[in-house]
Structure 1
Amino acid sequence: MWFLSSRMDDFPKCSVCQQQFTFKGHAPYLLPCLHAVCETCVTSGAGGVISCSTCQREVNLTNSSLQKDAVRQKEIFHLTVKHRPTELLCTHEDDGNQAVCWCQDCEELLCEYCQNIHSNFKVTRRHVVQNFADLELTFSTVPKFCSIHKYHPLYLFDKSCKKLICARCRIEDHVDHEVEKVDVAADSVTKQLEYHKNELSTLQTRHQANMHSIRQGTESTDETHNSLKENIRHTFHSLRSQLNQREKELLIDLENHTKETKAAQHALLTACEEDKKTCKRVLDYINNVFLFASKSDILGLERYVGEMTRTCLDTAAPQTYAVPRAVFNTNSLSKLKANVSGFGAILTMDMDGKSEIIADRGTQTDDDFMADVEMKHKMRIDEKDAIEKKDAKTIDLLLGVARECGVHLLKPGAVDGSLILKCIPLKYDKDSVNLNKVHINTEGDLVNRKSDTRPAEEETEEVHRHMQHCASPNDGCPQYWEVENRVNLDKQLSENCLILSVGVCREEQRDLHHRIDERPYSYCMNVAHLTKHIGLCNNIWKEGKRVLCLPDTLPNTAGASNTLHYGVVYDDARKKIVFIDLKEKKVISTLDNVDCSEPLWPMFGVYNPHLLTVSMGLVVGSDINMTEEKKAMIVKALS
C-alpha cells in the first residue's frame, strides 16, 4: 500500500483544491506563479479571483486568461504510462481494449489489434510507435493543422497576435503582422529560458551557501554561549557573597539573549529555505519545460517564467550570514562593590568587534584585583579615545578630498573608503559631444535633436557624447550619478531601435563614431526596442555582449511619453557596476568582475531623432536626494 501511495504522490495537484490531476480528468491550467489549477476551480472562482494555496498569490481572472498547462498535461500522460497503464484505453476501439503503445505521429493510443493494423497499413507503417515499456520523452515533428484552413500546417508564429498561423492565414488576416517560423521563435524563447535556468541555478547555490552560513552561525552562537557562561561564572566567583543574585539575573539574560539570537537565526533560515524552495520549484518547472514542452508550448511561458525568476532574484538573501556575537560587558567592574545592581550586561558584538576578557587571579586579594581591573579599564578608555580621534581625522580627510562632491556614508560610522559613497559632480564636456543630430539645451539636458543655432562646421557623423567630472574615476570609493530621461514616441516603433544608453568605458573607447555597448571594456544599460518583443526593453551589456534583456518594460505606443530615472554605481574596489531603476525602486542588474585595471569614464548616448524625442538630464553631486531606501539598495547590490 505504501508503494502505491508513493506512486500516486508523483502526480501533480491543483494548487487550490489539492486534488490530483489524472489522465482522464480535467486539464490543468497554468497560473502566473507556475502552479497549476484545475478547470473546476477556474470556473468556480469567487468574484473572478482565485488564490493559490501554495504561494498565496491571487489571480484576477477578469483581467487575465489562463492557458492550458501543456507541460503538466504531458507529464501526467507519462506518469500514467509509468504507474497507471491500465487506465489507458485504445483510441480506436469502443469495447475497452487495453492500450499497449503510443503513436507519436498520430498522437493516439493503440491496443495490440490496432497496432498490428497500424503497422501493416501503408499510410501509417512508417509512423513512430513506442511500447509503453520503451516510451521516451520525444516530441512529434508532425505539424499541427489550421482550424480555419484545413490541411494547412501551422508552421508560422504571429508575434503581434501571439499565435500559430498557416500560410493562408499569413496572406489573409495577418498580412501586415510580424511573422517568423515556429522554430526560430521557439529557439529565441528557449535561449531566454536557458538564461533563466542558469540564473536560478546560481541563486540556488547562493541559498545553499547562506543556509550553511546560518547553521555555522548557530553553532558559533552555541560556542559563544558556552564560553561566556564560563566567563560569567569565573568572574562572579570572587564576588560570590555580594553577586549571587546578580549572577542569576545575568545568566537568565544570557539565556534570553541566546534564545532571541537563535530565534532570529531560525527565522532567517526558515525564510531562506522557503526562498530556496521557490527557486527550486521554478527551476524544476523550467527543467520540465525542456522535458515535456514542444516549441509551440514554450512560446507562452516566457512571461510567467521571467516574472518568477525576477521575483526570486529580487528577494534573494546575501550569500553569507554575519553572525551576531554576544559579549560580556565588564566595564563597570571597578565600581562593582558600590554599584552591584548595575554590573554586567549581555551585548551583541559584530564580526569586527573586540572583547576584553579579564581572568581572575587566584593569588590576588579583592582590592588588588579591583585595582587591576580599574587600571585596565582606564587604559581601555584612553585607547578608545585615541581610536576615535584617529577615525575623526580619517573622516575629515575623506570629506576634504571630496569637499565639492555629495558624500554619504552607506553605513553609520563608516570610515572605510569602500563604505563611503561619492555623488560625483559630472558636467558635459561640450568639446567632445558629437553635435550632428543632438545638442545641449539651455537647461543643460542632452537632446537627440540638432540645434538650429549650431555652426555648420561642427557637424560630424554620429550621436555619442561623453562626460568629464572633478574626481578621478578610480579612487577607492563607490561613485554614483543619476540621469533623468524624458522619452516621447512620435510613432509606434516597428524596427530594432536604440533609444538611450548610460554606462562607463575606458578613455581610449570614448569614440564619437561607435555605440557604447559594442565597445570592448565598456559596461552599459540600454533602453531599446527589439522586434521580437512588443514593448520597449532594458538591456545590460558587458564588453560588447548583451548579458541581460528585460523585455516589455515600457509600452510601445504612438504618442506615449515616459520619464525614466536611473542611477549608476561604479565601485572599482569591488569591481562592480550597478544599474538602478529609481522610478520602480529596484536594482536592474549588478555587473561583477569588471575590468578596472584602467580608469573607466561615464558615457551617455541618445539616438534616432526621426522616430522619437529623448531629453537626458543629469542629477549629480549635492543635487542627488540620497534617501535611506537608495542606500539600502546600493548596499545590497554591492554586498
Structure 2
Amino acid sequence: MRFMSSRMDSFPKCSVCQQQFTLNGPAPYLLPCLHVVCETCVTSAAGGVISCSTCQREVNLTDTHFQKDVVRQKEIFHLTVKHRPTELLCTHEDDGNQAVCWCQDCEDLLCEYCQNMHSNFKVTRSHVVQNFADLEPTFWTVQNFCSIHKYEPLYLFDKSCRKLICARCRIEDHVDHEVEKVDVAAETLTQQLEYHKNELSTLQTRHQAYMQSIRQGTESTDATHNSLKENIRHIFQSLRSQLDQREKDILIDLENHTKETKATQHALLTACEEDKKTCTRVLDYINNVFLFASKSDILGLERYVGEMTRTCLDTAAPQTYAVPTAVFNTNSLSKLKATVSGFGAILTMDMDGKSEIIADRGTQTDDDFMADVEMKHKMDMEELKTKIDSDEKHIESLTKLSDKLNSEIESLKSRIDEKEAIEKKDAKTIDFLLGVTGVVGECDVHLLKTGAVDRSFMLKCIPLKYDKDRVNLDCVHINTEGDLVNSKPGTRPAGEGRLKKYEGTCSTAPLLMDGCPQYWEVENRVSLDKPLPKTWLILEVGVCREEQRDVTHWIGRRPHSYCMIVSHCTTHSGICRKIWKEGKRVLHLPDTLPNTAGASHTLHYGVVYDGARKKIVFIDVKEKKVMSTLDNVDCSEPLWPMFGVYNAHLLTVSMRLVVGSDINMTEEKKAMIVKSLS
C-alpha cells in the first residue's frame, strides 16, 4: 500500500483544488510562479482571480494570459506510462484495445495490432515507435504546421510578435518584423535557461551553506549558554545566602535571551529552507524543461522561468550567519566584592560595639574566644583569597571584552566614515546634476540610483501650476485655495484664449524635453450627490500635444494623448479607473469607490513622464502601486499636462496639485518608480 501511495503522490497536483492531474483529465495551465493549475479552476475562478495555495500568490485573469503547461503534460504522460499503463488505450483506431507503444511522429498510442500495421505501411515505416518499457523522457521533435496556411511548417520565430510563423506568414503579415529560425531562437533561450540553472544551483549551494552556518550558530549559542551558566554559578557560590534570588533572576534572563536568540535563528532557518525549496522547485522545473520541452515550448517559458529566477536571487540569503554572542555583564562586581571583603574584619571597637563580644565571652574562656576569633579570621582570609582569584578571572574576561568592543568601535567608525563619504558623493552628484540641468526654484530633485551622474536617473518633482487664463469657466473654476473644482465660478473675468470644450485646464507650460524623468501628483476629494449613470466621467489627469488640448471635453480618445480617467463603468456597475493611450483603452481597473449617493473618497495619483525612455507611468499613491506603464510614447513634440473635473450636477470634485517640495518622496516610492521605468 505504501508503494501504491508513493506512485500516486508522484503525479502533479493542481495548486488550487489539489486534485491530481490525469492523462485524460483537465489540462494543466502554467501560473507565473511556475506552479500548475487545472483548466477547471481557470474557467471557474471566482472574481477572475486565482490564488495559488502553494505560495499564496494571487493572479488576475484579466491581466495574465495563461498558456498550457506542455512540460507537465508530457510529464503526466510519462508518469502514466510508468505507473498506470492499463489506463492507456489505442488512439490510432480508437478500438478500445490496450496500448503497448507510442509513436512519437504521429503522437498516437498503438495496440499490438496497430503497431504491426504501422510498421508495414510505407509512410509510417520510418516513424520512431517506442514500447512502454523502453520509453524515456526526451523532447519531441514533431513538425508543427501553421494554423492559417495548412501544411506550411512553422520554422521561423517572430521576435516582434513573440510567435512561430511559416514562410507565407513571413511574406504576408510579418514582412517588416524581425524573425529568425526556430533552432537559432531556441538555442539562444536554451543558453539563457542554462544560465538560470547555473545561477540557481549556485544559490542552492549558498542556501545550504547559510543553513549550516545557522546550525553551527545554534550549537555555539548552546555552548555559550552552558559556559555562562557555569560562570554564574561559580560567582554566586560565595554569596549564595544573600544572592540566591538574584541568581535565579539572571538565570531566567539568560534562558529568555537564549530562547529569543534561538527563536530568531529558527525563524531564519525556516525562511531559508522555504527559499531553498523555491529554488529547488524552479531548478527541478528547468531540469524538466530540458527533459520534456521542445524548442518551440522553450520560447514560451523563458518569461516565467526568468521571473522566478530573479525572485529567488532578489531574496537570496547571505553566505554565512553572524552569530550574536551573549556575555554576562559583571559591572560593579569588584565594588561589591570589596564591600563584602571589608565586612567582619577585626577592628578596635568602642564600648557600644563590644556588647555582642562581651555577651559571647560570658560563656567562653579566653582561649575559646581567641580560637573562635582566629578561626573566623582564617575563614575570612580564605573567602577573601577566593574572591581575589575570581576577580582576577573576571578582570581577564573584561580585558578580552574590552578588546572586542574596541575592535567593534573601530569597525563602526570605518562604516560611519564610509557612509559620510557616500553622502558627500551623493551631495556632489546632486550639485553637479543641478548645475548641468539648471534646476532652480521650487523643483525638487531626487536620485533614483545612488551616485549616478546621469540625467536619466534624476527625478524632478517639477513646479507645475494650473493655467488660470485657460480655465474653461463654463464648467470649472479654481477656488481661493488654488484647487480645480467642477463648478462654474461666481463671476467670470474676461480673457482671451480660454478653453471652450475641455472641461478643465492645462499647465502654464509644457513638460521639459531635457532627458530627465519628471513627476507630479494630484490629490482629489470626490463626493457623490447621486449615483453616476452610463460611463459618465469624474476626473482626468494626463498629457497631450498642444493642438489636442481643446478638441473634446476629455483627451483620452485623441491621438498623441495619454491619460488616466475615473468614471462610471457599465461593465462592472461601479466606479473604475481606465488608462488610455493614443485614443485606445489599454487598462481597466474596477472599484475605486462605491457608486452610491453620499459616498466620498480621497483619490491620490502620481504621474511620471520620462522622455528619454519614452514612458509615462500612472501611480496610485494611496495604494502604493503602479497602475500602468505606457511604452513607446511619442515625445518628438512637447506634451502638456492636462487636468479635468466633470459633472457638477451629480458630484463634487476638488483637484489639488501636489508638486515640488510638497511631494513626499519616500524610498519605497522611488523604488517603485525605478522598477516601472526599467
Q: Per-residue displacement from partner, 1:412-463 (whole Å, max 9, x unpaired)?
A: 55469778754565999xxxxxxxxxxx9993369xxxxxxxxxxxxxxxxx
Paired residues of 1:391 and 1:415 also in contact (CA < 8 A): no
User: Match of 1:299?
Assistant: 299
Paired residues of 1:334 and 1:374 also in contact (CA < 8 A): no
User: Match of 1:203?
Assistant: 203
Matched ranges for 1:97-108 at <5 A: 97-108=97-108
Counterpart CA distance in 2 for 1:10 and 1:203 is 26
Counterpart CA distance in 2 for 1:365 and 1:445 is 79
Give the match's secondary structure for 2:22: coil
Counterpart CA distance in 2 for 1:265 and 1:115 is 61
TM-fit CA distance, 1:305:
0.8
Output the amino acid matched with 1:560: K
Give the match's secondary structure for 2:21: coil
Q: Which has the larger radius of gyration?
A: 2
Is the aligned partner of 1:174 residue 2:174? yes
Counterpart CA distance in 2 for 1:66 and 1:25 is 18
Counterpart CA distance in 2 for 1:154 and 1:2 is 46
Output the amino acid matched with 1:176: D
TM-fit CA distance, 1:18:
0.6
CA RMSD of aligned residues (A): 4.4
User: Match of 1:219?
Assistant: 219
Is the aligned partner of 1:365 residue 2:365? no
Counterpart CA distance in 2 for 1:199 and 1:43 is 36
Q: Indicate which of 421, 444, 469 corresponds to 2:436.
A: 444
Counterpart CA distance in 1 for 2:120 and 2:380 is 101
Paired residues of 1:14 and 1:20 also in contact (CA < 8 A): yes
TM-fit CA distance, 1:332:
1.7
Is the aligned partner of 1:560 residue 2:614? yes
Identity of aligned residues (%): 73
Counterpart CA distance in 2 for 1:380 and 1:28 is 65
Higher helix share: 2
User: Match of 1:6?
Assistant: 6
Paired residues of 1:71 and 1:292 also in contact (CA < 8 A): yes
User: Match of 1:311?
Assistant: 311
User: Match of 1:347?
Assistant: none
User: Match of 1:485?
Assistant: 455
Output the amino acid matched with 2:456: R
Counterpart CA distance in 1 for 2:50 and 2:246 is 57
Paired residues of 1:486 and 1:562 also in contact (CA < 8 A): no
User: Match of 2:233?
Assistant: 233
Give the match's secondary structure for 2:327: strand
Q: Per-residue displacement from partner, 1:395-420 (whole Å, max 9, x unpaired)?
A: xxxxxxxxxxxxxxxx8554697787
Output the amino acid matched with 1:170: R
Counterpart CA distance in 2 for 1:420 and 1:484 is 21
Give the match's secondary structure for 1:486: helix
Give the match's secondary structure for 2:436: coil
Counterpart CA distance in 2 for 1:96 and 1:25 is 18
Give the match's secondary structure for 1:59: strand
Counterpart CA distance in 2 for 1:182 and 1:156 is 5
TM-fit CA distance, 1:253:
1.4
User: Match of 1:456?
Assistant: none
Q: Per-residue displacement from partner, 1:137-180 (whole Å, max 9, x unpaired)?
A: 23333411111111111111111221111111111122222211
Change (3 A) 1:199 1:423: same
Q: Unaligned regions of 5+ residues in structure 2, if any? A: 341-378, 439-449, 459-514, 517-607, 618-624, 626-634, 638-665, 672-678
Change (3 A) 1:379 1:211: closer
Is the aligned partner of 1:192 residue 2:162? no
Paired residues of 1:28 and 1:36 also in contact (CA < 8 A): yes
Counterpart CA distance in 2 for 1:30 and 1:257 is 46
Give the match's secondary structure for 2:14: coil
TM-score, normalised to structure 1, is 0.60
Counterpart CA distance in 2 for 1:38 and 1:20 is 9
Change (3 A) 1:195 1:263: same
TM-fit CA distance, 1:370:
6.3
Aligned residues, how many? Answer: 433
TM-fit CA distance, 1:556:
12
TM-fit CA distance, 1:240:
0.9
Matched ranges for 1:322-401 at <5 A: 322-336=322-336, 364-366=382-384, 369=387, 373=391
User: Match of 1:109?
Assistant: 109
Change (3 A) 1:558 1:131: farther
Give the match's secondary structure for 2:215: helix
Counterpart CA distance in 2 for 1:421 and 1:170 is 57
Change (3 A) 1:363 1:52: farther
Output the amino acid matched with 2:77: F
Counterpart CA distance in 2 for 1:86 and 1:112 is 14
Give the match's secondary structure for 1:50: strand
Paired residues of 1:487 and 1:612 also in contact (CA < 8 A): no
Counterpart CA distance in 1 for 2:142 and 2:208 is 43
Change (3 A) 1:11 1:141: same
Q: Unaligned regions of 5+ residues in structure 1, if any? A: 341-360, 395-410, 429-439, 447-479, 489-498, 501-553, 564-583, 585-610, 614-626, 633-639
User: Match of 2:136?
Assistant: 136
Give the match's secondary structure for 1:157: strand
Q: Per-residue displacement from partner, 1:496-531 (whole Å, max 9, x unpaired)?
A: xxx99xxxxxxxxxxxxxxxxxxxxxxxxxxxxxxx
